[in-house]
Amino acid sequence: MLSRIELSRAVWRARGYPQRILVIDDRVPNAAFGSGDGRMVEAVLDLSARHYAVSIFPTWGVTMPSDLLISAGVAVIEEDLADHLRRPEISYDSVVISRPHNYDRLFSTVLELQPRAAIVYDCEALFWRRLVRLADLATTPEEAEALRAHAAGMRQLEETIALRSDALVTVSGEEAEFLSTVEGHCPIYDILPADRNVNFTPRSFADRRDMGFVAGWAAGPTSPNADGLRWFIAEVLPRVTRALPWVRLRVTGGDVPPEIRALASPNVIFEGRLADIETFYDELRVAIAPLRFGAGVKLKTVQALQHGVPVVSTKIGAEGVDTRGIPVMDVTEDPDAFAGCVVTLLTDSQAWNERRSAIARLLAAWHEGSSGTPWSDMMSKVLAGRPFARHSVLL
């Protein structure tokens, strides 16, 4: 009978000795969860399609991978990470770590047990900027001071990550520009979080009806999504319903916090976790992104545009989206103006069709090839630079 090591090596020979990549994130990515999961799913699928052997270590505990990931041959690591990495048959070519708390906790373990692996940091957002903006919304000086102190520590960590890593991926050109000011930073790749396989939804204005808010709720009742939804329901929705009593806001996402679900009404419908997001977008006239704090490109905004749905957003909700100067979104912080834009797009077919045409022009511009480097291309460049000396110098 073959030993575990012999069996592992036999499988590797049968697969043609592909290069191995380990992804460390909070959970096994699932696009239905929101919170950046859809983007990570696309990254993993892109790497797998280019014949990398991808494994995932979820720091919050193992969940069943989606059929997409299973079909792509993605493995999920269920044992303790250190135990896994020290196995003699395990040798990763690259380890991708997403989110600063995972990097802070596990970087040293990865470096010690897989010293030849290229360490890539997935910067889905600069967390310190999110904390600074949250401090601006604090209700007491003490809360604001605590948040700004937390932000200062997080900024130091995120700048250190840019020094220690072998490469860093951002979704925002603005955040890539900031990180490039860190003296001695690693190579930075700005990858647009847009899935080329998303379909521009076909239904006409007359066949659609509702507003939609695509949200993930993993961060709980104090998240940017929760704060934004509260603000919209309190400040904007009453202005919309005065003009359109029939209007419905459909909110997606599973595991909605009870405090947020309590906001349900005939005008606010919680849909739960959706198996088919394309059908959902095909039923909407308007998508909203009423976020008041956060950082990085908001995937819900990019996703709505890719599905051809006009967006009304705050500045934070629209942040980092490269519109190429094409008028594809209404962006405002004012509740009256926000409501007015929503009402126009819900009722004026000409305005709606003009906005759809503008979105189509933007998507064509994005797909002309000047909007970023795919994950697989980035990885091939990073791995071509081995062996690495950066870690031994910095530690």
Share of the chain above pLDDT 70, in %: 89
The pLDDT of residue 222 is 85
- Are 23 and 55 contacting, i.e. CB atoms less than 8 angstroms apart? yes
Q: Is the pLDDT confidence value at 155 over 80?
A: yes
**Is 312 in a helix, a strand, or coil?**
strand
The CATH number of domain 205-366 is 3.40.50.2000:
yes
Question: Mean pLDDT throughout 33-53?
Answer: 82
The answer to whether the 16-191+372-389 and 205-366 domains have the same CATH topology is: yes
Q: Which fold has domain 16-191+372-389?
A: Rossmann fold (3.40.50)
Query: Per-residue pLDDT tens for 289-314?
Result: 999 987 777 888 989 999 999 999 99
What are the pLDDT digits (tens) for 243-254? 999 999 999 988
Whether 279 shows a pLDDT value over 80: the answer reads yes
Mean pLDDT value of segment 157-171: 94
Q: With bands split at pLDDT 50, 70 and 90, how would you rate the model's confidence at 19?
A: very high
- pLDDT of 338 reads 98
β partners of residue 254: none
Closest CA to 16 of 46, 52, 48: 52
The domains of the chain are located at: 16-191+372-389, 205-366
Cβ atoms < 10 Å from Cβ of 249: 24
pLDDT band at 324 (very low <50, low <70, confident <90, very high): confident
Confidence of residue 211 (pLDDT cuts 50, 70, 90): very high
For residue 284, what is the enclosing H or E element?
strand 284-289
For 269, the enclosing helix (H) or strand (E) is strand 268-272
Tokens of 288: 């909203």
Query: Percentage of residues in the chain with pLDDT exceeding 90?
Result: 60
Give yes or no for residue 348 having a pLDDT over 50.
yes
Cα distances from 315 to residues 15, 211, 262, 327, in angstroms, run: 47, 19, 27, 14
